[in-house]
A and B are shown apart, each in its own frame.
Chain A
Amino acid sequence: MSKILAGLKYSESHEWVKVEGNVAVVGVSDFAQKEMGDITYVDMPEVDDEVTAGEEFGALESVKASSDLISPVSGTVVAVNEELEDAPEKVNEDAFENWIIKVEMSDPSELDKLLDAEAYKALIGE
């Protein structure tokens, strides 16, 4: 059973979004980290990079596979979680605590296209 936090938004590609004013905090879901297995590297953009909803902004690497990170919103990266550079396994330990990037949103209405916790739960079929 994967953990799903109520009150967050989710994408079909298994990222979560926590809205803090005009900033979207983005991470990957507990389901995604379990599917990936031991995460060994998080490829992240840099602060001030532009990201676009539905497009790749980085990648998670496990021992066996690499999986693109897809941005749930468009905007400008205002922070990246530098702790993950040296300790990517933190995503396995707590996927919700260990966010990946923060994005200053250019179009907050994009949030409406994302899933709520209940719809995400139905998507992963647990």
Chain B
Amino acid sequence: MTDIQSQEQLQKTCLHDEHVALQAKMSPFAGFMMPIQYSSITLEHQAVRQAVGMFDVSHMGEIFVEGPEAEAFINHIFTNEIRGFEPGKVLYGMMCYPDGGVVDDLLVYREFLPDHFLLVVNAANIDKDFAWIQEQVKGFNCKVRNESPAWGQIAVQGPEAEKVVVDVLGYPEAATLAFYTFCDVQYAGKRLILSRTGYTGEDGFELYTTPENTVEIWKRLLAAGVQPCGLGCRDTLRFEAGLPLYGDELSPEISPVMAGLGMFCKYEKDFIGKEALLAQKAGELEKKLVGIEIEDKAIPRAGYPVETLEGEEVGVVTTGYHSISLDKSICFALVGKAYAALETPLQVRIRKKTFPGKVVKKRFYQTNYKK
């Protein structure tokens, strides 16, 4: 009975009826009932790598910040540097706690109106993030609004994404956008944020608009033959591209420095968590996130122990798959920093057996972004 009760409390995205009509396999994720797969994870993964696929990512959170001190405020809570970054640009980074642990990783959009910003945050963290932001904003002259329920979002991803957005949806602007930039367009008289971003390692777009428009756009893309893709392949795609998932590779316990994402932290400015991250960078770091490739088809899953070849436990797997694009068993693992150098021999314990492997680069798959 508890399962049924908890399912009733799950939120549904604006595309829920479309997923049910497509007979998607649905599962709870981040407080939402979400499609895991429509046909097969492998087929959907290949569609994105080789052609184009679309994802319902309406569960993501949209938090707007505006006011004379909006820039100063965001720069105070965000690890990356937003000063000097122009309207129409998107920046990735984290919000950290004072101890360097991560509140969330997010995208910051500098809007075309002066002093207006959009923060796009993980679905599972919307309430926590908004509470954190409201707490930190005290003393800054700006307003914050959580508009998450008012926005739907579709990610159109893959080498043919541009063609689909231009030809099927009729936005020639899409062709002129560089990766990590966006423009404002209209759909049925309502705002649509057309953003050249994604979470797959391929070129692609994320379209933010009203729930009603989101449903219309989904139906048009489906009619045009775009493959619907579930969260199953979203995870395999982002993993191969070396992209972290909050909760697995970033968390209150896993800092950006531990996760190897120090390039998104700018120390020439002040931000919450800076001192702790600097100390970690300077050597107070015990663990590091690495990639490991093992010499077998067995799959290293989250939580499996990582050992030296002598059997000493030195870490744990955070995400692992038999990579669809590379046909190799690979994983991210958090290991003692003495074991983090490339080519270090390590083994993963999978059920009763151990499988030898070695540390490799975390970006397993060569990404294909439009520069």
Binding site for B on A (CB under 8 A): 37-38, 40-41, 43, 59, 61-64, 66, 85, 88
Among A38, A66, A85, the residue within 8 A (CB) of B299 is A66
Q: A37-B41, A41-B322, A61-B322 are in contact. Are A66 and B232 (CB under 8 A)?
A: no
Contact check, A37 vs B299: say whether CB atoms are below 8 A apart.
no
Give the chain A neighbours of B350 by CB distance below 8 A.
Answer: 43
Q: Which of B328-357 contact A (CB under 8 A)?
A: 350-351, 353
Of the candidates A59, A64, A85, A88, the one whose C-beta lies within 8 Å of that of B232 is A64
Number of residues from B at the complex interface, CB < 8 A: 19
Say yes or no: is B26 at the interface (Cβ < 8 Å to chain A): no
Q: Is B36 positioned at the interface, with any CB of A under 8 Å from its CB? A: yes
B232 contacts A63, CB within 8 Å? yes
Chain A residues within 8 Å of B297, by CB:
40-41, 85, 88
Show 10 residue pairs from A and B whose CB-CB distance is below 8 angstroms, ordered by the A residue: A38-B40, A40-B297, A43-B351, A63-B232, A63-B236, A64-B36, A64-B41, A64-B235, A66-B299, A66-B301
**Residues of B contacting A61 with CB < 8 Å?**
298-299, 322
Contact status B301-A63, CB under 8 Å = no
Whose C-beta in chain B lies nearest to the C-beta of A40? B322
Known: A40-B322, A61-B298, A63-B41; 5 extra A-B contacts, CB below 8 A, are A37-B40, A41-B322, A64-B41, A64-B235, A88-B297
- Whether A37 contacts B351 by the Cβ 8 Å rule is no
Residue of B nearest to A88 (CB): B297
Bits for B38-53, please: 1 = Cβ < 8 Å to A, else 0.
0011100000000000
Cβ < 8 Å to A, chain B residues 25-68: 25, 36-37, 40-42
Which residue of chain A has the shortest Cβ distance to B297 in the bound complex?
Answer: A41
A-B pair count, CB < 8 Å, reads 39
Complex: A61 Cα to B322 Cα, angstroms? 9
User: Please, which residues of chain B bring their CB within 8 A of the CB of A41?
Assistant: 297-299, 322
A54 to B230, CA, bound (A): 34
Task: Report the minimum CB–CB distance from B80 to chain A (whole Å).
Answer: 32
CA A59 – CA B297 in complex, angstroms?
13
A63/B298 in contact, CB under 8 A? no
How far apart sit A119 and B299, CA to CA, in the bound complex (Å)? 34
